[in-house]
Amino acid sequence: MRPARLNGGVNLDPDPRGCAALRSDLDAAGYRAAAVRDLWGAMVDTAVGHGLTEPAHRALAGRTDALATLAALLFLGSPTSRARVADALPSLGEQGLVDLGLAHVEGDLVVPDALVRPQDISDAAGEGHWWIASDLDEAAVGGPLPTGHVLGVGGASLTLAGLQLTAPVGRVLDIGTGCGIQALRARRSADTVVATDVSERALGFTRLNALLNDVDGIETRAGSLFEPVAGEQFERVVSNPPFVITPRSEGVPAYEYRDGGMAGDDLVAAFVRRVGAVLAPGGVAQLLGNWEYHDGDDGLDRVRAWVAQSPVPLDAWVVEREQLDPLAYAELWVRDGGTAPGSPAYAPLVQAWLDDFAERGVTAVGFGYITLHRAHVIPTLARYERITGTIAGALGPHLGDALGAWQRMSSMTDAELDAAVLRVAPDVTEARHHVPGAPDPQVIELRQGAGFGRALEVDPALAALVGASDGDLPVGVLVAAIADLLEVDAGALRADLLPRVRELLFTGFLRFED
Ligand SMILES: C[S@@+](CC[C@H](N)C(=O)[O-])C[C@H]1O[C@@H](n2cnc3c(N)ncnc32)[C@H](O)[C@@H]1O
């Protein structure tokens, strides 16, 4: 039997009626992300995102309506008068909020013990919104976070939520669920979700958030990594794991929300090596991670080695989005823990990271997205790449299309590809750069507006093939016509173009017409 409360925080067994009452109050007040943004303005919203709450307090001064009360109490985590809370939460009431473990009462004030923030969602299932409860953030706590902190929805959470595949699926596993954001997102396309965490408090928040948003089918289980699901298999696994590399030296806090307690990047390595065992054949795992570069060895090769150590065959698509040197990495994570530059603890903490990296020969740290597919017999996809440009919108549908195209192509002969009818994707544009006065272009570039926003230099033959791919004639016929036009050997042109057509189909410049 679970204790009802731990550390005076979230109720680990939240009352469904209390959650429904809170939902009804938040809904009635119009407590949505856009409404809160409008309430204090775009610049103040950005300030709040940076942990600066004073501008928001000033914007709310003098307002007593329910939306302003909820923004102060639940968005900023500010103590608020009992009378205002009673007005803003007519169904739940102050006692209901206390019973859910989201606040306590001190004199005339209701003092929040957690945040509940609105979160917009937009995906293949449509537009929507959630309210997500999590621990008080740094600004509300007023200093460094406690190590058992349960994170709210951050940049990495939104990245993985956007990366999640959107095709309908049976069972999904979310490892390290935290406040449950990935589990909620997965449930939009999955029949059921198992959400795990080492933190009982995180699981309490996940249960509360599922009830608050009236989402069923999410089962919570306590335990480390794959332990709570030993012997089970899932069609999809998602994880924003605690991948942050942390020195194991005295005085360096080990935050549960970002640090799995292992050395270096061992937690991500363990995840990659072992996830195949819980993937059903054909299943896909999606995770974020860090990987180290050692004395000039390529970090992506390190991930490649982890994939090769999986006991089940895994196809892999790994995208490195960012690479930081030891100093930039150390400063990022010291600041993330609430220790500001200039404070006495800052320099010793940064030095602890630098010493750890120097001792272990770490010269840089990569961050990116890992997509693994349990292959039937032998892996056919081993794609390790760096894509650092800005990405517009959620990548999930794009990843799904790429994996779908790759699956289709992996059993497709060149003769079958000849017979396929293709269409250029609607977000692709072509730019031709000419030396002034020259009739022929010096450079032809294809550019994607969606997906990873890739840009690609192509030769006239491939540009012609892409330009003629309008869903009418098959590839083989187009290649023969282009060979005629360019007066080159058709067989040689076909041998040159088909592998590149496959690449354009994977990367989403071209699509199969049927
Ligand atoms: C970066 S947070 C991710 C939270 C949430 N899924 C998200 O996307 O925002 C990592 C989570 O992993 C949990 N965790 C830490 N060590 C773990 C382990 N060994 N096994 C499973 N979960 C772990 C932490 O408690 C935390 O909730």
pLDDT 10s digits, 193-251: 999 999 999 999 999 999 999 999 999 999 999 999 999 999 999 999 999 999 988 88
Cβ(370) – ligand 1 distance below 6 Å: no
Of the segments 140-149, 209-218, 252-261, which one has the largest average pLDDT value?
Answer: 209-218
Q: Is 447:428 a contact under the CB 8 Å cutoff?
A: yes
| pLDDT tens figures, 20-52 | 999 999 999 999 999 999 999 999 999 999 889
**In 10 A of CB 226, how many CB atoms?**
19
Share of residues in the chain with pLDDT > 70 (%): 98
Share of residues in the chain with pLDDT > 90 (%): 86
Q: Give the integer Cα–Cα distance in Å for 139 and 136.
A: 8
Find tokens 């998602």 and name the residue.
Answer: 238
Average pLDDT for 264-287: 97
Q: Determine if the pTM surpasses 0.85.
A: yes
Cβ(379) – ligand 1 distance below 6 Å: no
Cβ(151) – ligand 1 distance below 6 Å: yes
Q: Give the integer Cα–Cα distance in Å for 130 and 152.
A: 12
Cβ(199) – ligand 1 distance below 6 Å: yes
User: What letter would DSSP give residue 277?
Assistant: G
Specify the pLDDT at position 468.
97
**In 10 A of CB 397, how many CB atoms?**
18
For a mutational test of ligand 1's pocket, the pick from 137, 149, 197, i.e. the residue with the most ligand atoms closer than 8 A to its C-beta, is 197
Cβ(181) – ligand 1 distance below 6 Å: yes
| pLDDT tens figures, 310-334 | 999 999 999 999 999 999 999 999 9
What's the 165 CA to ligand 1 centre distance in angstroms?
Answer: 20
Q: Is it the case that residue 5 has pLDDT exceeding 50?
A: no
Q: Give the confidence band of 190 by pLDDT, cuts at 50, 70, 90.
A: very high
Q: What is the mean pLDDT of the chain?
A: 94
Specify the pLDDT at position 296.
78
- Contact partners, residue 344, CB within 8 Å, separation at least 6: none
Which string of b and e fits 316-333 if b means at least 16 CB within 10 Å?
A: bbbbbbebbebeebbbeb
**In 10 A of CB 40, how many CB atoms?**
22
Specify the pLDDT at position 6.
37
For a mutational test of ligand 1's pocket, the pick from 145, 160, 199, i.e. the residue with the most ligand atoms closer than 8 A to its C-beta, is 199
Q: Give the integer Cα–Cα distance in Å for 118 and 136.
A: 15
For a mutational test of ligand 1's pocket, the pick from 158, 177, 179, 238, i.e. the residue with the most ligand atoms closer than 8 A to its C-beta, is 177
Structure tokens at 20: 């429904």
Which residue CA neighbors atom 4 of ligand 1 most closely? 178
Instruction: Kindly list the distances between the CA atom of residue 269 and the CA atoms of 2, 300, 320, in Å, as whole numbers in the listed order.
Output: 32, 12, 15
Q: Give the confidence band of 7 by pLDDT, cuts at 50, 70, 90.
A: very low
Specify the pLDDT at position 124.
77
| Beta strands 103-106; 114-123: pairing state | unpaired
Rg (CA), the chain: 26
